[in-house]
């Protein structure tokens, strides 16, 4: 049992180091040796856990995105106030930036904005489905306007989230905790005013 825990800790150390290296240098210019050095492990040990640098990147994306989708699902299921559910979804997506900015930088720069997006597009748009379902339930309850297309509204809301996160990643707008909280408040307020009766 202790050996399994130690192995998982070492694997996590390598992934965390890889996220820092990829965020700093970019995936394509980073070498396996850079990751090993950052993690403080022997070069060959990385290959014990991962077959390639590509597998490391794929694992970073998969683990980050599955955690994000769990948080989005929890927000979608919380209570029955659609505006609060949408606020929770925005907060869930912004939480990754606050807690793991290097990982979010890697996901945005190396996956969401590159040719590899075609492999992940199904995963990347799953939060839109959650947002659409919340809007549809709000429309059915008579809380949200039913003259608006729920799918289009969901894409617009998600697009706002995506643009804010991209702005933080690319350094176009400040991304500290206060700015993230303000962004969440503004995003939900704009949507609320547009969607409510």
The per-residue pLDDT for 44 is 86
Tell me the pLDDT tens digit for each residue of 111-129: 765 565 456 666 777 899 9
Enter the pTM of the model: 0.86
Q: What is the 3-state secondary structure (H, E, C) of the chain?
A: CHHHHHHHHHHHHHHHHHHHHHHHHCCCCCCHHHHHHHHCCCHHHHHHHCCCHHHHHHHHHHHHHHHHHHHHHHHHHCCCCHHHHHHHHHHHHHHHHHHCHHHHHHHHHHHHCCCCHHHHHHHHCHHHHHHHHHHHHHHHCCCECCCCCHHHHHHHHHHHHHHHHHHHHCCCCCCCHHHHHHHHHHHHHHHHHHHEC
Q: Which domains does the chain have, with CATH numbers?
A: 1-50 (1.10.10.60), 57-195 (1.10.357.10)
The chain-wide mean pLDDT, for the chain, equals: 88
Q: Which residues of the chain have pLDDT under 70?
A: 1, 112-122
């Amino acid at each position: 049992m202790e050996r399994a825990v130690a192995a998982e800790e070492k694997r996590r150390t390598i992934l965390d180091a890889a996220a820092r290296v990829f965020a700093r240098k970019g995936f394509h210019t980073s070498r396996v040796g850079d990751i090993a050095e950052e993690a403080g492990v022997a070069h060959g040990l990385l290959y014990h856990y991962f077959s390639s640098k590509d597998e490391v990147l794929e694992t970073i994306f998969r683990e980050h995105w599955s955690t994000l989708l769990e948080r989005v699902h929890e927000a979608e299921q919380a209570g029955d106030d659609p505006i609060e559910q949408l606020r929770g979804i925005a907060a869930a997506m912004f939480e990754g930036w606050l807690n793991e900015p290097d990982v979010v930088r890697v996901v945005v720069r190396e996956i969401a904005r590159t040719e590899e997006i075609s492999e992940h597009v199904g995963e990347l748009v799953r939060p839109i489905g959650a947002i659409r379902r919340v809007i549809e339930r709000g429309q059915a309850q008579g809380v949200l306007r039913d003259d608006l297309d729920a799918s289009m509204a969901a894409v617009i809301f998600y697009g706002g989230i995506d643009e804010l996160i991209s702005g933080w990643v690319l350094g176009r707008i400040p991304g500290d905790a206060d700015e993230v909280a303000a962004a969440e408040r503004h995003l939900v307020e704009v949507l609320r005013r547009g969607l409510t009766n």
